[in-house]
C-alpha cells in the first residue's frame, strides 16, 4: 500500500471566513475551535479532507465535486454549503492508509 | 463516518453527493437539494426536510426517517415532474421509520382517522377508521410495520362502530369507546 501524507491544521478560536485551502499533501485534517466563524471556506483544492468543527459557522463551505470529506461538525452552521458531487465520509481503508503516513 | 447531527444545512447543495451512512440526526435540511444523492443508510431521524428536494436518482435505501418532517419536500421524477413527497413514496424507496405515517397519510386521503395512545392519525372525519382498517391501509402500502400497527393499542375511538369490523376489533388491539 502506498504511503499517503497527511497535514494537520489546528485552528484556535477565531474568524477564518473566506479562507481557501490548497496544498500538495494527500490528505488534510482541519480542526477548528468551537465558536469560530469560517464562512465561505473553500476546500475545493484538497482531495481528502477531514474537518472537525463542532458548533462552528461554516456557512457557504465549498468542496470540490471529486473531493472526499469526513465531517465531524455536530451543531455546526452549514447553510448554503456546496457538497455537490463530493463524498462525505472516507472509507475505513482509506482513512487507515492516510493515518499510516501522517505527519504534522 | 461523517457526523452532521443537529447541523444547520439550510439550502445546502448535496446534488450527486455520496453521503452514504452519514448521521444527520436532528439537522435542519430546509430547502436542501438532495437530487441524485446517495443517502442510503443515513440517519435522518428528527430532520427537517421542509422544502428539500429529492429525485428519482436519490438513493434512500435503509435511511432512517423516524420523526422527520417531510411536509413541503418535493420529488422530481425522471420526466422532471415535481410533486410533494408522500410517506408512501418514501416507504416504497426503502426508507425506514415511517410505517405509521403511511397509514396516517392513507387515512387522511380517505377522510378517515384513527388514534393510538397519545398519537392521532388522520383528520376528523365522518367515518371512524379502526385498527383493522389502519393495518389494512399499511398492508396495502407495503410497509413492514404492519404487525406493529396490528398490535397497537387504540384509544379514544368513537362509539360508532364500523359495520363488519366487530370481530377484528376484539383481536390483538385493545379498543376503548
The tens digit of pLDDT for each residue in B36-61 reads: 999 999 999 999 999 999 998 999 99
The verdict on a CB contact (< 8 Å) between A87 and B2 is no
Model pLDDT for residues A53-92, shown as the tens digit of each residue: 999 999 999 998 888 999 999 999 999 999 999 999 864 4
All three cell numbers of B95: 426508507
Query: Contact at 8 Å (CB) between B78 and B97?
Result: no
All three cell numbers of B40: 442510503
As for the ipTM of the complex, it is 0.84
> Which pLDDT score, from 0 to 100, does residue B162 have?
39
Distance, CA of B120 to CA of A85 (rounded, Å): 40
The minimal CB distance from A74 to the residues B1, B7, B13 is found for B7
Cβ count near B10 (within 10 Å): 21
Q: Is the dihedral of CA A49, A75, B89, A83 positive or negative?
A: negative
The verdict on a CB contact (< 8 Å) between A83 and B8 is no
Cβ count near B126 (within 10 Å): 8
Q: In A, which residues are within 8 Å of B8 by CB distance? A: 76-79
Distance, CA of B134 to CA of B152 (rounded, Å): 10
pTM confidence score = 0.76
All three cell numbers of A28: 488534510
> Which pLDDT score, from 0 to 100, does residue B107 have?
73
> Which pLDDT score, from 0 to 100, does residue B134 have?
63
**What is the rounded average pLDDT of the residues A10-35?**
93
B3 to chain A, any CB pair closer than 8 A? The answer is yes
Model pLDDT for residues B111-152, shown as the tens digit of each residue: 766 665 555 555 554 445 556 666 666 666 555 443 344 444
Which of B31, B25, B23, B20 minimizes the C-alpha distance to B6?
A: B25
B27 pLDDT higher than 60: yes
Amino acid at each position: 500500500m502506498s504511503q499517503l501524507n497527511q497535514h494537520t491544521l489546528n485552528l484556535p478560536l477565531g474568524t477564518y471566513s473566506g479562507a481557501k485551502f490548497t496544498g500538495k499533501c494527500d490528505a488534510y485534517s482541519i480542526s477548528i475551535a468551537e465558536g469560530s466563524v469560517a464562512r465561505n471556506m473553500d476546500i475545493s483544492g484538497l482531495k481528502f479532507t477531514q474537518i472537525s468543527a463542532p458548533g462552528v459557522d461554516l456557512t457557504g463551505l465549498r468542496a470540490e465535486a471529486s473531493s472526499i470529506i469526513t465531517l465531524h461538525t455536530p451543531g455546526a452552521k452549514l447553510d448554503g454549503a456546496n457538497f455537490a458531487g463530493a463524498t462525505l465520509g472516507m472509507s475505513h481503508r482509506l482513512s487507515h492508509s492516510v493515518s499510516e503516513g501522517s505527519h504534522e | 463516518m461523517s457526523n452532521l447531527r443537529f447541523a444547520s444545512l439550510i439550502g445546502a447543495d448535496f446534488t450527486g453527493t455520496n453521503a452514504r451512512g452519514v448521521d444527520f440526526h436532528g439537522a435542519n435540511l430546509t430547502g436542501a437539494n438532495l437530487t441524485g444523492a446517495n443517502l442510503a443508510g443515513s440517519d435522518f431521524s428528527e430532520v427537517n426536510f421542509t422544502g428539500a428536494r429529492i429525485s428519482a436518482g436519490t438513493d434512500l435505501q435503509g435511511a432512517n426517517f423516524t420523526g422527520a418532517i417531510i411536509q413541503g419536500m418535493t420529488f422530481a421524477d425522471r420526466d422532471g415532474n415535481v410533486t410533494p413527497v408522500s410517506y408512501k413514496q418514501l416507504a416504497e424507496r426503502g426508507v425506514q421509520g415511517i410505517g405509521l405515517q403511511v397509514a396516517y397519510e392513507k387515512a387522511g386521503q380517505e377522510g378517515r382517522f384513527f388514534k393510538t395512545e397519545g398519537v392521532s392519525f388522520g383528520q376528523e372525519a365522518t367515518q371512524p377508521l379502526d385498527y383493522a382498517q389502519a393495518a389494512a391501509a399499511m398492508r396495502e402500502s407495503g410497509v413492514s410495520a404492519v404487525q406493529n400497527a396490528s398490535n397497537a393499542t387504540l384509544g379514544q375511538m368513537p362509539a360508532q362502530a364500523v359495520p363488519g369490523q366487530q370481530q377484528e376489533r376484539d383481536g390483538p388491539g385493545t379498543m376503548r369507546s
